[in-house]
A and B are shown apart, each in its own frame.
Chain A
Amino acid sequence: GGIITQTPKFLIGQEGQKLTLKCQQNFNHDTMYWYRQDSGKGLRLIYYSITENDLQKGDLSEGYDASREKKSSFSLTVTSAQKNEMAVFLCASSIAGQGAETLYFGSGTRLTVL
């Protein structure tokens, strides 16, 4: 088996601050994802990466940057935190992709912006 580790578990930021979330996986999966989870809205895709140094935008990419410097790691940056923003950011990985693969999720980073 494998595991996805997200750090930090809790992140508190100030309005306008740049914040970085990190994700590591030891499945040796090619594809990694960042999702945002808001209460009552399901999960929405921010960025995904099908291999090292690849980046693809999801529907919610505005206001975020991502980086995949190694196969095992995928980081997400909130470029300017919005006041009163609260959400959980979930990292996931899959063997390949194309909409039919099982996703393996981390336990999330909970963001609060004061």
Chain B
Amino acid sequence: GNSVTQMQGQVTLSEEEFLFINCTYSTTGYPTLFWYVQYPGEGPQLLLKVTTANNKGSSRGFEATYDKGTTSFHLQKASVQESDSAVYYCVLGETSGSWQLIFGSGTQLTVMP
């Protein structure tokens, strides 16, 4: 079946450091991949979305590239800010008819001032 793996439960950085959050996925279909971000007290919101057609997405300084060979969809940001502190979810969707999104377990990012 489909699955998403985020191995990093928590990441702690100082401001202006480089962010890298690991995500790998498994699917037999044609994936659409998302990163959602959840700030304290709020629901998750879309950060960026990538399909097999465009391979790479970016938003608010964050980037993610879909790599079919390694089935990875890592999230990166060159220089984090304290306001980036949140939980980040890697999410797998399919366009082959499945209505269910598969959420990774989430990575709590804490950015120290």
Point out residues on A near B: beta carbons under 8 Å: 4, 31, 35, 40-45, 48, 50, 56, 58-59, 90, 92, 97-108
Chain B interface size range: 20 to 34
Residue in contact with A43 in the complex, picked from B41, B51, B89, B94, CB distance below 8 Å? B89
**A97 vs B32: C-alpha distance when bound (angstroms):** 12
In the complex where A99-B95, A100-B51, A102-B49 touch, is A45 in contact with B101 (Cβ < 8 A)?
A: yes
**Nearest A residue (CB) for B41:** A107
Q: Is A48 a contact of B105 with CB atoms below 8 Å?
A: no
Interface residues of B in 74-91 (CB under 8 A from A): 89
In the complex where A99-B93, A102-B49, A107-B43 touch, is A40 in contact with B9 (Cβ < 8 A)?
A: yes
Point out residues on B near A: beta carbons under 8 Å: 4, 9, 32, 34, 36, 41-46, 49, 51, 89, 93-101, 103-106
Chain A to chain B contacts (Cβ below 8 Å), 20 pairs: A35-B103, A40-B106, A42-B106, A44-B103, A45-B100, A58-B100, A90-B44, A98-B98, A99-B93, A99-B94, A99-B99, A99-B100, A100-B32, A100-B51, A100-B93, A100-B94, A103-B44, A105-B43, A107-B42, A108-B43
Q: Is B99 a contact of A97 with CB atoms below 8 Å?
A: yes
Q: Is A105 a contact of B45 with CB atoms below 8 Å?
A: yes
**Nearest A residue (CB) for B89:** A42
Residue in contact with B104 in the complex, picked from A42, A59, A97, A99, CB distance below 8 Å? A42
Residue in contact with B95 in the complex, picked from A35, A44, A98, CB distance below 8 Å? A98
**A56 vs B100: C-alpha distance when bound (angstroms):** 11
Which residues from chain B contact A58 at a C-beta distance below 8 Å?
A: 100
Residue in contact with B46 in the complex, picked from A44, A48, A103, CB distance below 8 Å? A103
Which residues from chain B contact A48 at a C-beta distance below 8 Å?
A: 99-100
